[in-house]
Amino acid sequence: MRAIQVLPTDVANKIAAGEVVERPASVVKELVENSIDAGARQIEIEIREGGKEFIRVTDNGSGIRRHELKTAFLRHATSKIASADDLVRVLSLGFRGEALPSIASCSEVEIISRTADTNEATRLKIVGGRVDEEGPWAGPPGTTVIVRRLFYNTPARLKFMKQAATEKRYCAEYVTHMALAHPGIAFHLIGDNTSMLRTPGSSDLLSAFGSIYGSPLARKMIPVEWESAVVSISGYVSPPEETKSNRSYESVFVNGRWVQDRLICAAIEKGYENMLPTRRFPIAVLHLEVDPTLVDVNVHPAKTQVRFRHESDMFREVMLAVRAALHGSNLMPRLTPTKRAASSDKPRTWSPTNTLEADFVKETEPSRDGESCGTPQALPAEFKPIADTHADRDKQELLDHMRSPLAEEEIPPEAEAVKRYLSQASPMGQILNTFIAVSSPYGLWLIDQHVAHERILYESVLARHRRSAAQMLLSPLTLTFSPTEAAMIERRLRDLAEMGFAMESFGGTTYILRSTPIEASDKPDEAGLAELLVEIVSMWHEGGDGRREKAAAMIACKAAVKAGKPLETVAQRALLSQLARTANPFACPHGRPIMIAIDRQELERRFGRG
């Protein structure tokens, strides 16, 4: 057995780097936090190859004195705390004194710094944790840190880094959050010689938000102001109709520190209870000011997690703050909850009761937020036909298929009978401008127009994709994305083109869209198309099988006729005819039923004729 010994400094620093420096975005994070703690009002970040080859952070902060420059690269050397008592009231972003030595141990670092009371800067170059060059340099007050060849001396870490576009996205995501955390600082992010993000530094949070996500969205945001004995909350939340497909647009800051806290995100979403479509999330930028003694920021070296002393109180205050903001904007929907909903804090879901009409109307009423590509819903018990012992077996099998939608590979031969009848069926009309009623030999059919159209478009997108069909736009659209979104889009331009979305960069985070799949080209909407593209590339980023099929399902869901839209009889008939030509007329790509059947026996039972 080997003797116990103290590890050499370079080995200890590399071990620490494994916790502090996970990827290029970690380097950007640590350097930017140092700039903020130094009082900088302007911070410029430049990355190349996703930060794997080059990272530069320049600020106009207080700078580092010449005789302290080497000390800054020693482990646990910091100016931000002096004793253990300071850990109880940490107000700076950094305090551990691990970042610079950890970064320097696994890269080539060059630092140039000058304080305002000196006439020249000092330059220090460190390679693999060892000082290589040192001397006077020309430069303005402030600090510039350049990091090259990250993980060059740790092949295992280098091997696990992602592609440049992915690492660029992580860097952009972090800078986006920091720009929202500190609107009084002017941030500028440059990626591969292209400006990706620039904020004015005007101290106005909404201006910073608008420079990142666009002025149209900024104008819709709802201000949040909340004071209590526990926390002071300020910021903005989106109206219920402005949602995203994931939580990455929920930015939470505790005492100026960006944190990734599930508790706060859950509280934000609780404030929107019963107001958001399934699997949709709000946009939020919330600043929480908390007594430093009531929050622990020293949970993890990355300092993106915190622990509140009174978690339940914090959850309640955030939820109430969001709810009050929405109420104040008159955006809370007027609901007439059932007794079941009124007695429960859980969001209302479909639950069969003894009153057929009330539940049917309530649950099929079109949502003002449009259709959601959500979880498949079970068929309501009231609509399940009673078995008819005298009916033809094939008829009953068809009814069973319509009760339980099937996947493509499970479509039975009897389905052809349904298709044949649909191809020549005469619709009786619409119910609630959402369901098409058809009288058939098998009973009354109710067909969801959105879900039916979704199935039609889904199969059309896949068929046209094999023929590379797209429709050129008469007037190309200009789409602007957030820096994080633009990084994902850039990586998938070729894949998007194969789906029919021909795009090219127009500078910064703006792209020109020249074509779309034919199915998505009806009255193109810039905001809607931008959101669709982000959802598609986000889904691709998550991985998994069936990439094109999932993208086709998203396109179909967005483009399909919505619930609540009146359709002329000729349009209803055309929809049924097209549905008859699909491979699976029973379910949409997400598994939701397209049609349900109420057989004669069920109708007679309901009217007391049995």
Tens digits of per-residue pLDDT, 511-562? 999 988 877 755 567 888 888 898 888 888 766 566 778 888 888 888 888 8
pLDDT at res. 79:
55
Arithmetic mean of pLDDT, 232-252? 91
Q: For residue 464, what is the enclosing H or E element?
A: helix 449-466
User: Are the C-beta atoms of 597 and 399 separated by less than 8 Å?
Assistant: yes
d(CA 376, CA 362): 18
Q: Of the candidates 298, 230, 206, 222, which has an alpha carbon nearest to the alpha carbon of residue 259?
A: 298
53 Cβ contact list (under 8 Å, min separation 6): 148, 149, 150
Tens digits of per-residue pLDDT, 419-469? 888 888 889 999 999 999 998 877 788 999 999 998 998 888 888 765 556
User: What is the assigned CATH class of domain 221-328?
Assistant: alpha beta
Q: Look at 478 and 462; give whichever has higher pLDDT.
A: 478
d(CA 96, CA 520): 52
d(CA 18, CA 481): 32
User: Are the C-beta atoms of 448 and 590 separated by less than 8 Å?
Assistant: no
Domain pair 9-198 / 221-328, same fold: no
Tens digits of per-residue pLDDT, 324-362? 998 876 443 333 333 333 333 333 332 222 322 333 233
d(CA 460, CA 589): 12
| Beta strands 281-282 and 243-244, pairing class | antiparallel
pTM: 0.66
Arithmetic mean of pLDDT, 187-212? 94
CATH code of the region 379-610? 3.30.1370.100
pLDDT band at 162 (very low <50, low <70, confident <90, very high): confident
Q: Of the candidates 143, 125, 156, which has an alpha carbon nearest to the alpha carbon of residue 22?
A: 156
pLDDT at res. 191:
93
Arithmetic mean of pLDDT, 297-321? 80
Domain extents in the chain? 9-198, 221-328, 379-610
CB count within 10 Å of CB 297 equals: 21
Tell me which architecture the domain covering 9-198 has in CATH: 2-Layer Sandwich (3.30)
